A and B are shown apart, each in its own frame.
Chain A
Amino acid sequence: MTVRDALNSALDEEMEKDDRVYILGEEVAQYDGAYKVTRGLWKKYGDKRVIDTPITEMGFAGIAVGSAMAGLRPVCEFMTFNFAMQAIDQVINSAAKTFYMSAGRVNVPIVFRGPNGAAAGVAAQHSQCFAAWYAHCPGLKVVSPYNSEDCKGLLKAAIRDPDPVVFLENELLYGVQYEMSDEALSKDFVLPIGKAHIARPGEHITLVAHSRAVEICLEAANELAGKGIEAEVINLRSIRPLDMDTINASIVKTNHLVTVEQGWPTCGVGAEILSRVMESETFYHLDQPAIRITGVDTPMPYTKSLEIAALPQPSDVIATVKKLLKAQ
């Protein structure tokens, strides 16, 4: 099943289950969504539950927040998260903080979703990861799924969650097919927010990643296995809350840590993980300093060759692992 279809079935199932759930955003209805994630839902659920909006991110994010306060369960699609910057005040100051500011009286059960992170050939203003931005803010939950199972289970969890969830998809993964277990095909399949997943067990080094970077780690781990290095790949799934238990347990086993992400290094997801390891008992289990592999600290280049160079590649992961483990 493709990531796109997994997201679509999660939306479909939750809309069927709970009539408070509705979708709004630019072109989500008649056009089936800019990336076809909402395909067929307008036909099935009609104008009342799948709503095309004018091009006003701040406006429809505000509508979504208000309707969530009033008891609905909006799924607010941003055509891409690059455009969600227009709506940042509604997401941070209204959605994330209202529960706290209302002394627990008004919760905001909302999902902000859309493609995030690097796309292909669309330059600095259309190609960037906002995981660290949203993860910075208390009150939000931030999910960054990798494959089809992640997307289905986590989107369903996000829709059912009583708090605002920022759901960061990846454009380049929409069309990719991943296997789905029988369990994941069930309508009851939900993955817990805040729990990481060990995508590949290993004993020599821990690789922690989210979204598309998980794929990069798995590719690197495959190649490293041929050289006798067994890397454990952790798919974070959630950025906030961050599942430090799984990361810590893995480090205790492997004594080495590398984080991999497509976003920028400064104040990034990797920076956060390394700090938390440093502040905990787990630090004493490290045999070498932990290392971040990140996107390059620059606005995304447009040129294809530079774009590749600006993003972590499996070869970067392999080189770093070998250096850390002093392997040939």
Chain B
Amino acid sequence: MVLSKNCASLLGRYFRNTLIPKTLSASYTSSQVHADVKLEWTQNLNFTGSSSLLIPSYRVLNQQGQIIKESEDPKLSDSVLEKMYKNMTLLNVIDKILYESQRQGRISFYMTNFGEEATHIGSAAALNEDDVVFGQYRETGVLLWRGFTLSELMDQCYGNCDDQGKGRQMPVHYGSKRLNFVTISSPLATQLPQAAGAAYALKGKNKIVICYFGEGAASEGDAHAAFNFAATLGCPVIFFCRNNGYAISTPSKEQYKGDGIAGRGPGYGINTLRVDGNDIFAVYNATKMAKEYAITENKPVLIEALTYRVGHHSTSDDSTKYRSVEEVQHWTATENPVNRLRLYLENKDLWNEDMEKQWHTESRKDILTAFDAAEKKSKPHWSELFNDVYQEIPDHIRKQMEEMQQHIEQYKDQYPIKAYSP
């Protein structure tokens, strides 16, 4: 039945186009079958190769923290600049403390964000809070910018009674309905087609979706599906690629050939930008322009931010096995996105060594306070074990829950009930 229906519509098109030429408008050309771009004919056979079109990388700040071209200065207010810098450095301290706490066995897993701070903060600052975020797993800075509190963050890593995820996810799998940040999901690249779908649903609602992913995730088939559907369905989504040089141990140059991830955009008919991901203003300007375009045109944008994963992939990885110390040092010293913004702020007299020391002490204190509190909090109530597998608890699960209730009531002195939230 499906086949015959398709055949009918195909035949219909065939008849309209070929047998009744009189009904065609005069502007019709045969190239319109293949794309909405103008087709040109040639009599020369030449390959279009991987180097035929190289997309340049947009940069605003140089490594000394100076604006290269005045017209590109986003001219952000002093308070926004200070918030940017504070968020970046706060993220660094959080990472140091939680990474160490994993090494001490206090949490089971952690992923640091070192080196990629500008991609998080620069892009988050260019969006509104009601724009929806689909993250991969290394976008903690986006949450900080939106106001995810230190307690919310620590509670998630500890999976305690105040964790909005009810302790069901591994650490760093944050999510916040309040902040329009969709909960991180472990399987790679699934967020890409989901983001296109969410953007499709948000069309005309004056907001967009931003979807973060790595250059490794872009190799998954899901990435192709996402790009093609977003383009053909006209979805207001920013595909934001953090090309950080490594997918666990696989270096970018083994992940793909051709002009990176940005090089794929034009092939899908997606407007594309490539930026220096360690330049917070370049990321900010690109994301801002992408958002304006996506929302007015109802079309996707692809941004490739070139950055570097300074830390290991996760606490399950040891990157010294596959890259040199010199390489990491180069990116930490020369290309450091946090230092670059700091130099800019110091040039403008908005920051100095005393403020740095004071902020470091203050942020460390706040983080440790939230950390200690999270560690002491009780576990989620035991009955949460039965919730949320289905929206309405089915009878067989309800029965189990009631049995457990009676059992615990009867043997309450045998169980560490105090460890669980009342």
Do A56 and B168 have beta carbons less than 8 Å apart? Answer: no
Do B170 and A30 have beta carbons less than 8 Å apart? Answer: no
Query: How far apart sit A27 and B251, CA to CA, in the bound complex (Å)?
Result: 10
Chain B positions 101-141 with a Cβ under 8 Å from a chain A Cβ: 108-109
Chain B 213-248 interface mask (CB, 8 Å, partner A; 1/0):
000110111100000000000000000000000011
User: With an 8 A cutoff between CB atoms, is B75 at the interface?
Assistant: no
Query: How far apart sit A131 and B221, CA to CA, in the bound complex (Å)?
Result: 25
User: With an 8 A cutoff between CB atoms, is B321 at the interface?
Assistant: yes
Partner of A56 from the list B108, B169, B221, B321 (CB cut-off 8 Å) is B221
Do B159 and A302 have beta carbons less than 8 Å apart? Answer: yes
Do A26 and B250 have beta carbons less than 8 Å apart? Answer: yes
Partner of B109 from the list A59, A122, A303 (CB cut-off 8 Å) is A122
Partner of A125 from the list B187, B247, B249, B255 (CB cut-off 8 Å) is B187
Partner of A54 from the list B169, B219, B222 (CB cut-off 8 Å) is B219
Do B170 and A122 have beta carbons less than 8 Å apart? Answer: yes
Query: How far apart sit A59 and B185, CA to CA, in the bound complex (Å)?
Result: 21
Given the known A-B contacts A122-B170, A302-B168, are A58 and B221 also in contact in the complex, defined by CB atoms under 8 Å? Answer: yes
CB distance from A307 to the nearest CB of B (A): 10
User: With an 8 A cutoff between CB atoms, is A138 at the interface?
Assistant: no
Partner of A123 from the list B169, B217, B221, B248 (CB cut-off 8 Å) is B169
Q: Which residue on chain B has the smallest CB distance to residue A310?
A: B385
Which residues of chain B come closer than 8 Å to A302, judged between CB atoms? 108, 159, 167-170
Given the known A-B contacts A85-B187, A86-B187, A299-B389, are A121 and B108 also in contact in the complex, defined by CB atoms under 8 Å? Answer: yes
Do A31 and B170 have beta carbons less than 8 Å apart? Answer: no
Chain B contact patch, size range: 20 to 34
Query: How far apart sit A121 and B250, CA to CA, in the bound complex (Å)?
Result: 25
Do A59 and B167 have beta carbons less than 8 Å apart? Answer: no
Do B379 and A303 have beta carbons less than 8 Å apart? Answer: yes
User: With an 8 A cutoff between CB atoms, is A55 at the interface?
Assistant: yes
CB distance from A311 to the nearest CB of B (A): 14
Query: How far apart sit A30 and B247, CA to CA, in the bound complex (Å)?
Result: 14
CB distance from B382 to the nearest CB of A (A): 9
Q: Which residue on chain A has the smallest CB distance to residue B186?
A: A125
Do B220 and A56 have beta carbons less than 8 Å apart? Answer: yes
Which residues of chain B come closer than 8 Å to A304, judged between CB atoms? 108
Prevailing SS type, chain B contact patch: loop
User: With an 8 A cutoff between CB atoms, is A306 at the interface?
Assistant: yes
Q: Which residue on chain B has the smallest CB distance to residue A34?
A: B248
Query: How far apart sit A122 and B109, CA to CA, in the bound complex (Å)?
Result: 8
Chain B positions 147-188 with a Cβ under 8 Å from a chain A Cβ: 159, 167-170, 173, 185-188
Tell me how many residue pairs across A and B have CB atoms closer than 8 Å.
85
Do B321 and A31 have beta carbons less than 8 Å apart? Answer: yes
User: With an 8 A cutoff between CB atoms, is B359 at the interface?
Assistant: no
Which residues of chain A come closer than 8 Å to B188, judged between CB atoms? 55, 83, 86
Q: Which residue on chain B has the smallest CB distance to residue A300?
A: B168
Given the known A-B contacts A26-B250, A30-B249, A121-B108, are A54 and B216 also in contact in the complex, defined by CB atoms under 8 Å? Answer: yes
CB distance from B94 to the nearest CB of A (A): 20
User: With an 8 A cutoff between CB atoms, is A82 at the interface?
Assistant: yes
Do A55 and B187 have beta carbons less than 8 Å apart? Answer: no
User: With an 8 A cutoff between CB atoms, is A1 at the interface?
Assistant: no
Do A59 and B219 have beta carbons less than 8 Å apart? Answer: yes
Which residues of chain A come closer than 8 Å to B40, judged between CB atoms? none
Which residues of chain A come closer than 8 Å to B254, judged between CB atoms? 52, 54
CB distance from B365 to the nearest CB of A (A): 29
Do A83 and B169 have beta carbons less than 8 Å apart? Answer: no
Given the known A-B contacts A55-B219, A59-B219, A123-B168, are A82 and B187 also in contact in the complex, defined by CB atoms under 8 Å? Answer: yes
User: With an 8 A cutoff between CB atoms, is B14 at the interface?
Assistant: no
User: With an 8 A cutoff between CB atoms, is B256 at the interface?
Assistant: yes
Which residues of chain B come closer than 8 Å to A56, judged between CB atoms? 219-221
Given the known A-B contacts A31-B249, A55-B188, are A123 and B216 also in contact in the complex, defined by CB atoms under 8 Å? Answer: no
CB distance from B125 to the nearest CB of A (A): 30
Chain A 222-257 interface mask (CB, 8 Å, partner B; 1/0):
000000000000000000000000000000000000
User: With an 8 A cutoff between CB atoms, is B322 at the interface?
Assistant: yes
Do B219 and A123 have beta carbons less than 8 Å apart? Answer: no
Given the known A-B contacts A123-B170, A125-B185, A302-B170, are A54 and B250 also in contact in the complex, defined by CB atoms under 8 Å? Answer: yes
Which residues of chain B come closer than 8 Å to A125, judged between CB atoms? 185-187
Which residues of chain B come closer than 8 Å to A86, judged between CB atoms? 187-188, 220-222
CB distance from B47 to the nearest CB of A (A): 23
CB distance from B3 to the nearest CB of A (A): 20
Query: How far apart sit A123 and B321, CA to CA, in the bound complex (Å)?
Result: 27
Do B250 and A303 have beta carbons less than 8 Å apart? Answer: no
Which residues of chain A come closer than 8 Å to B169, judged between CB atoms? 123-124, 302
Partner-B contacts on A (CB < 8 A): 26-27, 30-31, 34, 52, 54-59, 82-83, 85-86, 121-126, 298-299, 301-306
Known: A30-B249, A55-B247. 7 other contacts (CB 8 A): A26-B250, A58-B220, A298-B389, A301-B385, A302-B169, A302-B170, A306-B385
The 5 closest A-B pairs by CB, nearest first: A54-B219, A121-B108, A125-B186, A31-B249, A55-B216
Q: Can you pick out 23 interface pairs between chain A and chain B where the beta carbons lie within 8 Å of each other?
A: A26-B248, A26-B250, A31-B248, A52-B254, A54-B247, A54-B254, A54-B256, A55-B216, A58-B221, A82-B186, A83-B187, A83-B188, A86-B188, A121-B108, A121-B170, A122-B170, A125-B185, A125-B187, A298-B389, A302-B159, A302-B170, A304-B108, A306-B385
